[in-house]
Amino acid sequence: MAKFQITQVKSDIAGTKAQRETLRSLGLRKIGDVSIKEDKPEFRGMMRAVAHLIRVEEVK
C-alpha cells in the first residue's frame, strides 16, 4: 500500500479551528514537522482540507 510523507510548510496561526485540528490529526504541530500516513480516503480528505499548509510526497 502506498504511503505519503506529509510536511507542514506554513503556519496554521491564521487558519480556522477545524484546519488546526486537521493538522493535529495528521500528526503535525509546527512548521517542518513530518508525518507518514497510508493512502486511505480519510487521510486524502484531511490533506485536501489543509493542502495550502502542507507538502505531500509519495514514499515507496
What residue ranges do the domains of the chain occupy?
Answer: 3-59
Q: Looking at residue 60, what is its pLDDT?
A: 84
Please state the rounded mean pLDDT for residues 6-10. Answer: 98
Which residues contact residue 34 at a Cβ distance below 8 angstroms, ignoring those fewer than 6 apart? Answer: 5, 6, 7
Nearest-angstrom CA–CA distance, 41 and 18: 18
Q: Looking at residue 27, what is its pLDDT?
A: 97
Please state the rounded mean pLDDT for residues 22-29. Answer: 98
What's the whole-model pTM score? 0.92
Please state the rounded mean pLDDT for residues 37-60. Answer: 97
Domain at 3-59, CATH homologous superfamily: Ribosomal protein L30/L7 (3.30.1390.20)
| Rounded alpha-carbon distances, angstroms, from residue 21 to 3, 26, 46 | 21, 9, 10
Please state the rounded mean pLDDT for residues 40-60. Answer: 97
Q: 38 falls in which pLDDT band (50, 70, 90)?
A: very high
